[in-house]
Amino acid sequence: MKICRYVRRDGSSPDSASPRYGLIEGETVIEISGLPWAAWSRGARFSRLAEVRLLAPVEPSKIVCIGRNYAAHAAEMGNEVPKEPLMFLKPPSSIIGPEEAIVLTKYSQRVEHEGELALVMGRRCSHLGDGDDALSFVMGYTCLNDVTARDLQKSDVQFTRAKGFDTFCAVGPHMETALDPSNVLVETHVNGARRQSGLTSLMTYPAAFLVRWISRMMTLMPGDLIATGTPSGVGPLVAGDTVEVSVAGVGLLRNPVHAPQA
């Protein structure tokens, strides 16, 4: 099941600009009542997919990211694989949706893409045990681009500034509820050229492990995002680029890249 968050393009009603959730079925978006992780039902209103603008599929309270979760990416950065998951946060203010612009920052000379599989939490969870079914707390899966100012990451050592700029967390185009995250292909293309390609089976810490591990430090809430790490092949983005992150079984997230604001 594909669940999206969207607005209508035509302004046909007073509330048409209000974001709403819907089901994508073929080329049709069917509005649903309520939040996807709560009680909801199919509504009577529907639109053609071409008539709506897809937004980031969730508004999380937090975005929990895992660094160096693929050995080849750790190696290309000159690092060893962490003995425990390397965790950091991106602010919700960094989120954009499909087709929205990633805006480069004048404070960095080297902004890079990091295509990832992201988990969307569906239930509150805290202090999960080793025997708990961690993925039962996950509602769905989506594509995420953990845009990073690489020079600032290296100079600051910690990651907050390098990964926290507005527009540095592209998410979408929707969430897919029916996916086995253990062995799916994650790829990134820039201007049609493949930059990254890796299977999630190569992750050092798989999705279920990450949910359990993170829950022991912070309570995960419905709608929260977990970015599971990026394969090798990260590289620069420049103004005028178009970057696409795809996750097999989910879809494709496309974003243009714009020059820094004056």
pLDDT tens for each residue of the chain, 262 residues long:
999 999 998 765 556 679 999 999 999 999 999 999 999 999 999 999 999 999 999 999 999 999 999 999 999 989 898 999 999 999 999 999 999 999 999 999 999 999 999 999 999 999 999 999 999 999 999 999 999 999 999 999 999 999 999 999 999 999 999 999 999 999 999 999 999 999 999 999 999 999 999 999 999 999 999 999 999 999 999 999 999 999 999 999 999 999 998 7
pTM higher than 0.85 for the full model? yes
Whole-angstrom Cα distance, residue 57 to residue 223? 9
Q: Residue 22: phi, psi to the nearest 5?
A: -150, 165
Which of 33, 54, 75 represents a domain boundary (last residue)?
54
Write the CATH number for 208: 3.90.850.10
Is residue 110 within 8 Å of residue 149, measured between CB atoms? yes
Distance, CA of 212 to chain centre: 19
Write the CATH number for 50: 2.30.30
Is residue 80 within 8 Å of residue 236, measured between CB atoms? no
Number of domains in the chain: 2
Based on the fold, state whether residues 34 and 130 are members of the same structural domain.
no
The alpha carbons of the chain give a radius of gyration, in whole angstroms, of: 18
SS3 86: strand
Based on the fold, state whether residues 75 and 7 are members of the same structural domain.
no
96: containing domain: 63-258
Is residue 216 within 8 Å of residue 127, measured between CB atoms? yes
State the residue for tokens 């974001």: 19
Whole-angstrom Cα distance, residue 145 to residue 118? 9
Which of 54, 74, 95 represents a domain boundary (last residue)?
54
Based on the fold, state whether residues 167 and 224 are members of the same structural domain.
yes
**Residues contacting 5, CB < 8 A, separation 6+:** 19, 20, 21, 22, 54, 55, 56, 57, 58, 59, 97, 174
Whole-angstrom Cα distance, residue 98 to residue 143? 10
Based on the fold, state whether residues 81 and 142 are members of the same structural domain.
yes
Based on the fold, state whether residues 127 and 92 are members of the same structural domain.
yes
Q: How far apart are the first and last CA of the chain?
A: 42
Based on the fold, state whether residues 40 and 169 are members of the same structural domain.
no
Based on the fold, state whether residues 49 and 71 are members of the same structural domain.
no
181 DSSP assignment: T
Based on the fold, state whether residues 244 and 124 are members of the same structural domain.
yes
Based on the fold, state whether residues 50 and 138 are members of the same structural domain.
no
